[in-house]
């Protein structure tokens, strides 16, 4: 997925550079030789650019990672409740939260018992994987794929009172 995104970015960069070069060239030509031949090229250039951009858009929009996450049924659903000042995890159909499967879509149904909290998931290397707000009286559903096995940290991303910084939860992925 990232490779495709990188490739598309590269193509867009090339188009941008070519556009800039063309505009500089055409502006100079216009001064040197009068306008007519340049306007002729410009008439084709603009529609061609629009068609190219629509094609790239159509190609990339179907490959959005969010779309794959939305269409894949989650392998596990974890109910998350933020409290002052701890995280409560419950897994649907399980007596206790066990290890979550690596590389599968996990759905987190996130809410809060008291005030707003921020649910942030960090992988074993300390990189953030995803986050959403934990709000009282409302459930935010966020899906993530946890690629690395090991211990994940759940940190509160929104200041919620005196012991906010100690609000750390743990998820195991294997």
> What's the closest the beta carbon of residue 83 comes to Cu ion, in angstroms?
8
Residue number, 106 or 167, with CB nearest to Cu ion: 167
Residue number, 102 or 164, with CB nearest to Cu ion: 164
Q: Does 80 bind Cu ion (CB under 5 A)?
A: no
Q: Does 110 bind Cu ion (CB under 5 A)?
A: no
For the chain, the C-alpha Rg in angstroms (whole number) is 25
Q: Does 87 bind Cu ion (CB under 5 A)?
A: no
Q: Which of 52, 71, 62, 47 is nearest to 4 (CA)?
A: 62
Candidates 106, 154, 167, 171: give the one binding Cu ion (CB under 5 A). 167
Cβ–Cβ < 8 Å for 78, 172 = no
Report cis status (omega within 30 of 0) of the bond before 95: no
Q: Does 156 bind Cu ion (CB under 5 A)?
A: yes
Q: Do β-strands 105-112 and 76-83 pair in parallel, antiparallel, or remain unpaired?
A: parallel
Angle (CA) 137-143-149 rounded to 5° is 125
| Residue-level length of the chain | 174
Q: Does 155 bind Cu ion (CB under 5 A)?
A: no
Residue number, 74 or 120, with CB nearest to Cu ion: 120
Q: Does 117 bind Cu ion (CB under 5 A)?
A: yes
Binding site for Cu ion (CB under 5 A): 117, 156, 160, 167
């Amino acid at each position: 997925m990232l490779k495709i995104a990188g490739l598309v970015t590269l193509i867009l960069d090339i188009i941008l550079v070519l556009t800039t070069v063309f505009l500089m060239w055409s502006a100079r030509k216009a001064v040197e030789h009068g306008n007519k031949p340049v306007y002729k090229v410009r008439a084709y250039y603009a529609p061609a650019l629009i068609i190219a951009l629509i094609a790239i858009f159509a190609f990339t929009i179907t490959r959005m990672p969010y779309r794959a996450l939305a269409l894949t049924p989650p392998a596990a659903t974890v109910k998350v409740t933020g409290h002052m000042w701890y995280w409560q995890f419950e897994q649907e159909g399980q007596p206790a939260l066990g290890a979550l499967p690596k590389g599968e879509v996990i759905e987190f149904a996130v809410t809060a018992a008291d005030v707003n909290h921020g649910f942030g998931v960090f992988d074993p290397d300390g990189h953030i994987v995803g986050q959403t707000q934990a709000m009282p009286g409302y459930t935010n559903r966020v899906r993530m794929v946890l690629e690395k096995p090991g211990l994940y940290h759940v940190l509160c991303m929104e200041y919620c009172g005196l012991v906010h910084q100690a609000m750390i939860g743990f998820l195991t992925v294997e």
